Amino acid sequence: MRAYARFLYRCFRVSFVGDWRYQLWMLGLTILTLLGINAWARQFTEGLITTGMTDQVSWGLFIANFTYLVGMAAAAVMLVIPVYIYRNKELHDLVIFGELFAVAAIIMCLLFVTVDLGRPDRMHHMLLRFNFPMSLLTWDVLVLNVYLLLNLHICGYLIYCRYRRQEPSRWFYIPFVFISIVWAISIHTVTAFLLVGLGGRPFWNSAIIAPRFLASAFSAGPAFIILTLMAIEWFTTHPVPRKAYMTLRGIVLVAMTINVFLLGSELFTEFYADSAHIASVKYLWFGIHGHDQLVPWIWTALGMNLLALVMLYLPITKSKKLLAPACLLLIVGIWIEKGMGLIVPAFVPTPIGEVVEYMPTANEILICLGIWAFGLLLYTIFVRVTIPVLSGRLVEDQIFHTTPNAAAEFAADQRRTRTQEVPS
């Protein structure tokens, strides 16, 4: 126990160590987080009136980011499956970065739901009267928290074993890895069902939402991991084999193809039938009664997604220079489509035909930025701490040398990783 506390303390210390780029990045994220906290304090003081939400459009940017981030948490499982089921060697040492991202993403999800509550001071009512299994929201609370615990356990255990130079006991994590695979699928399905189950909202009340949710998640998540791996390769000496990128590129490609196909099926069904059901879809893609705020967004998203897909199909994205922009396009495209594009149109028009548009306020946007910054801050710390552990520099019985001089640190890091083979 003392040894573990000491491990956490050392991790905490290491998270403050880095070169000027690292310090600047962390400073920026901290400032954004503080701005977010400030905006949230204002919201807590005045009520949700500080947001752009209304009785007509009663869910907005918070829930949009929530649904998107549930998808991003899939990043983990898309690394876990190749490694643990197909025994892919290239990804083996990288899978932990996916699981760590899942932890950060789920924490962001929980924060987004919390800031959306009118009465966060009554959160404990969930523990006292839990409307399970009737309310899908209770399912979501369960699956998200369990997924968080699963990933925390797997990452925490593996990292701690490395730190103590112990061989991890398979029985202590492999079963959880397999549970987490099924569980990852459940978090998307449940989050999609949360919306799909509402008969009064034809925009959501469609069986295709859950599969599409999975497909978009399985493309945006791994795309984000590709960018993370590039950053790790660029800023540290942790080795990332080229084949790892190519495996992930293949996953993104397949998932994105399915996603675009499902989108086509959805649009065909809606627009060819052209029934009264399509008011919301029409609002999203073309606008109704002169209200068309989301139209430029969704077409941008479509353009980004299609461009990314074409780029991924071409051999040009076998080079990292073009793989990065393709991933970035895809991540932003899906953020628009799975965020605002999935949540807001369901409320326009209202079930009794009123058309009111939603425009997030600056305060609301600041809260979102704050949560994103906090999530990235956490993830950066996780990665920052994990790399020296994986490379055998931060271990229990050894002094961890760091100097404020980054160049010297990196050089030391490089020498070590070259000279000593890391046991896997």
Please list every residue from 231 through 270 that binds other proteins, using CB under 8 A. Answer: none
Under rule CB under 8 A, residue 349 binds other proteins: yes
Least separation in angstroms between residue 132's CB and other proteins is 9
Under rule CB under 8 A, residue 133 binds other proteins: no
Under rule CB under 8 A, residue 122 binds other proteins: yes
Least separation in angstroms between residue 29's CB and other proteins is 13
Residues 55-84 that bind other proteins (CB under 8 A): 55-56, 58-59
- Residue 57 φ/ψ, nearest 5 degrees: -110, 90
Tell me the angle at which helices 136-163 and 174-196 cross, rounded to the nearest 10 degrees: 150
Among 28, 86, 89, 125, the residue binding other proteins under the rule CB under 8 A is: 125
- The residues, ordered by sequence, that sit 6+ positions from 410 with a Cβ below 8 Å of its Cβ are 19, 236, 237
Least separation in angstroms between residue 162's CB and other proteins is 17
Under rule CB under 8 A, residue 146 binds other proteins: no
Under rule CB under 8 A, residue 290 binds other proteins: no
Ordered DSSP codes for 124-169: THHHHS--TTT-HHHHHHHHHHHHHHHHHHHHHHHHHHHHTT-PPP
Ordered DSSP codes for 334-364: HHHHHTHHHHGGGGSS-TTS--------HHH
CA distance 341 to 96: 31
Under rule CB under 8 A, residue 201 binds other proteins: yes
Under rule CB under 8 A, residue 14 binds other proteins: yes
Amino acid sitting at position 281? V
Under rule CB under 8 A, residue 399 binds other proteins: yes
Under rule CB under 8 A, residue 369 binds other proteins: no
Under rule CB under 8 A, residue 395 binds other proteins: no
Among 64, 100, 279, 376, the residue binding other proteins under the rule CB under 8 A is: 279
**Which of 59, 357, 368 lies closest to 204, judged by CA?**
59
- Which 8-state DSSP code applies to residue 288? B
Among 396, 410, 416, 422, the residue binding other proteins under the rule CB under 8 A is: 396
Give the three-state DSSP class for 235: helix
Under rule CB under 8 A, residue 145 binds other proteins: no
Q: What's the 3-state SS for 320-333?
A: HHHHHHHHHHHHHH
Among 315, 397, 421, 423, the residue binding other proteins under the rule CB under 8 A is: 397
Among 1, 170, 171, 200, the residue binding other proteins under the rule CB under 8 A is: 200
